[in-house]
Each structure stands twice: as structure tokens, then as C-alpha cells.
């Protein structure tokens, strides 16, 4: 009986101890819950003011701080503003369209070869021009100035000779032509090059000398070509013009000397030739005897 009471007393103590622990745990729980709820409430508090912010804050800021920008195009629309005073970035571009109206050998003095190319071109705005001419490529070219007031329609009968190219054009070469233009406000433009093929006819026009007796080199002397009376032909060799007999390319007519006369001593500026079967002193350019 005594043992039973002691056992009951022990169970009571254990029960009371367990109840005390549960009570402490229950009392501590309310302190933790508000901490969690407070954190949640604070997040909600942070989110609620965001609803009062305008939907487009960036647009509102731009409307109040951005300054209006006037387009550059308005400057070009000023009717009284001279073209020369417009900013460079609103100047009208300058373009050039070139074409050939005609090309042919031009009438000229005997022995002077002139080839004429009739050019016409338009510019997108009023401008002055110059013409560039070259043989085969533009590494070595020459400029032909055009005397004109600024305009949009241009024309030029371009004439040139073999002297212009630094060498005699041969069949198969190409003569290149292009136009450069400049507007009063400073814009520059250039046309696409056009080409003129050097055919046998163009070659004969530019180098009108006997093909068998000429050396195909440029004529460097600055004298007018002589007038060669038939059967003499005009040839170009040793840098100048010469009248020669086509059979010999000299002042000899090709017939042997049959006269009994001894060869003469020719004076300064004359050469000895065999003509009409006898000796003669003649001018080395015209192959004619000196005028008496």
C-alpha cells in the first residue's frame, strides 16, 4: 500500500512538471507570432504607397524637364536665307549626269588631227564645270576648263589631238571623259566616266600621217605641217613632219640616178636626193628644191 502511494506521488510530480513545460511553450508562442505578422504588415505597408505613384513617371518627368528641339529642316525652309549661309548638313547634294551627243573627226588643216566629242551634261543644282580627259585610265589626265555661269544644263564641243595624251593613241585604246562640277555653296560632284574607243578611224584622225613611213611617235616640233604635193605623202618621224615618197620614205623617188652629172654638194639646210633619175639638193622637210 505504501509503495502504491509513493508511485502515485511520483506520477503526480511528473505530470505537474510536464504541464509546466507546456504552459511555458504556450506563453512563448504569442511573442513569436506578432513578430512574423509585423513583418508581413510592414511589407504591405511598403507596397501600399506604390499604388499612389503615377502610372508613367518617366513621361511626366520628360514633359516637365525636356526642352523642345527645332528640326534642322526648318532652317532650309527659310525662303530668305541664302544657300551659302545654310549649315553644311542641310546643303543639297550635287550630282552630275553626262552623255555624248556626237563624236567625229573635225575639219582641220592638212596634217592637224582634231577629234571632236560633243558633250552634254546636267547638274542637280546650278554649278560650274570642268572636263577631265585621259587615255585608258585617269592616272595621267588633263583638265579642260569650261567658261560658264552656274547653271544646270551644260554643253561643250570637246576637241583634242594626239598632243594632249603624252603618247599617240593606238587602236584598242580608250579615251575616258568625266565632268567635275562645283556649286556656289561649295558642294562638289562628278559624273561617271564615259569612254570613246580608239578605232582605226579615230586613230587616223588623231595621227593623220602615212602609216608606213611614220614612226608612231609624238610630233614635238612646233611648226605647221607642210603641204605635200603628190606623189609625196606626209609622214611623222624624228619628232617632226616630213614630205616623203611612199616607196622609200625619203626624198628619193625610188628611181636610180641615170644622169651623167656628179652628185652635187648641197648647202646648209638642204639634202641630196635622187629624183627623176638625177641628183638634186632639196629641202629635207618638203623634199622640194629650194625656191629660186
Q: What is the pLDDT of residues 10-39, one digit of tens each?
A: 666 565 665 555 444 444 444 443 444 444
- Nearest to 135, CA basis, from 100, 92, 169: 169
Q: CATH classification of 90-206, choosing from 1.20.210.10, 2.60.40.10, 1.10.287.3510, 3.30.365.10?
A: 2.60.40.10
Whole-number mean pLDDT of the chain? 79
Q: What is the pLDDT of residues 205-219, one digit of tens each?
A: 999 999 999 999 989
Per-domain boundaries in the chain: 90-206, 210-292
Amino acid at each position: 500500500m505504501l509503495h502504491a502511494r509513493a508511485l502515485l506521488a511520483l506520477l503526480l510530480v511528473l505530470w505537474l512538471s510536464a504541464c509546466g513545460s507546456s504552459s511555458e511553450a504556450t506563453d512563448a508562442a504569442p511573442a513569436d507570432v506578432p513578430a512574423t505578422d509585423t513583418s508581413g504588415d510592414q511589407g504591405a505597408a511598403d507596397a501600399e504607397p506604390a499604388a499612389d505613384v503615377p502610372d508613367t513617371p518617366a513621361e511626366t518627368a520628360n514633359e516637365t524637364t525636356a526642352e523642345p528641339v527645332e528640326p534642322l529642316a526648318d532652317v532650309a525652309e527659310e525662303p530668305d536665307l541664302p544657300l551659302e549661309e545654310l549649315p553644311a548638313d542641310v546643303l543639297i547634294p550635287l550630282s552630275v549626269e553626262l552623255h555624248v551627243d556626237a563624236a567625229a573627226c573635225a575639219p582641220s588643216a592638212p596634217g592637224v588631227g582634231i577629234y571632236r566629242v560633243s558633250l552634254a551634261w546636267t547638274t542637280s543644282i546650278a554649278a560650274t564645270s570642268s572636263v577631265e580627259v585621259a587615255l585608258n585610265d585617269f592616272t595621267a589626265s588633263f583638265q579642260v576648263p569650261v567658261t560658264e555661269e552656274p547653271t544646270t544644263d551644260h554643253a561643250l564641243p570637246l576637241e583634242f589631238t594626239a598632243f594632249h595624251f603624252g603618247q599617240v593613241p593606238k587602236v584598242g585604246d580608250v579615251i575616258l571623259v568625266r565632268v567635275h562640277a562645283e556649286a556656289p555653296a561649295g558642294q562638289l560632284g562628278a559624273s561617271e566616266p564615259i569612254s570613246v574607243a580608239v578605232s582605226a578611224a579615230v586613230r587616223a584622225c588623231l595621227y593623220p600621217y602615212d602609216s608606213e613611213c611614220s614612226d608612231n611617235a609624238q610630233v614635238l616640233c612646233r611648226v605647221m605641217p607642210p603641204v605635200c604635193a603628190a606623189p609625196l605623202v606626209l609622214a611623222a618621224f624624228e619628232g617632226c613632219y616630213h614630205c616623203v615618197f611612199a616607196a622609200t620614205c625619203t626624198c628619193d623617188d625610188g628611181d636610180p640616178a641615170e644622169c651623167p652629172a656628179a652628185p652635187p654638194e648641197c648647202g646648209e639646210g638642204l639634202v641630196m636626193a635622187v629624183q627623176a633619175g638625177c641628183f638634186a639638193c632639196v629641202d629635207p622637210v618638203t623634199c622640194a628644191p629650194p625656191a629660186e
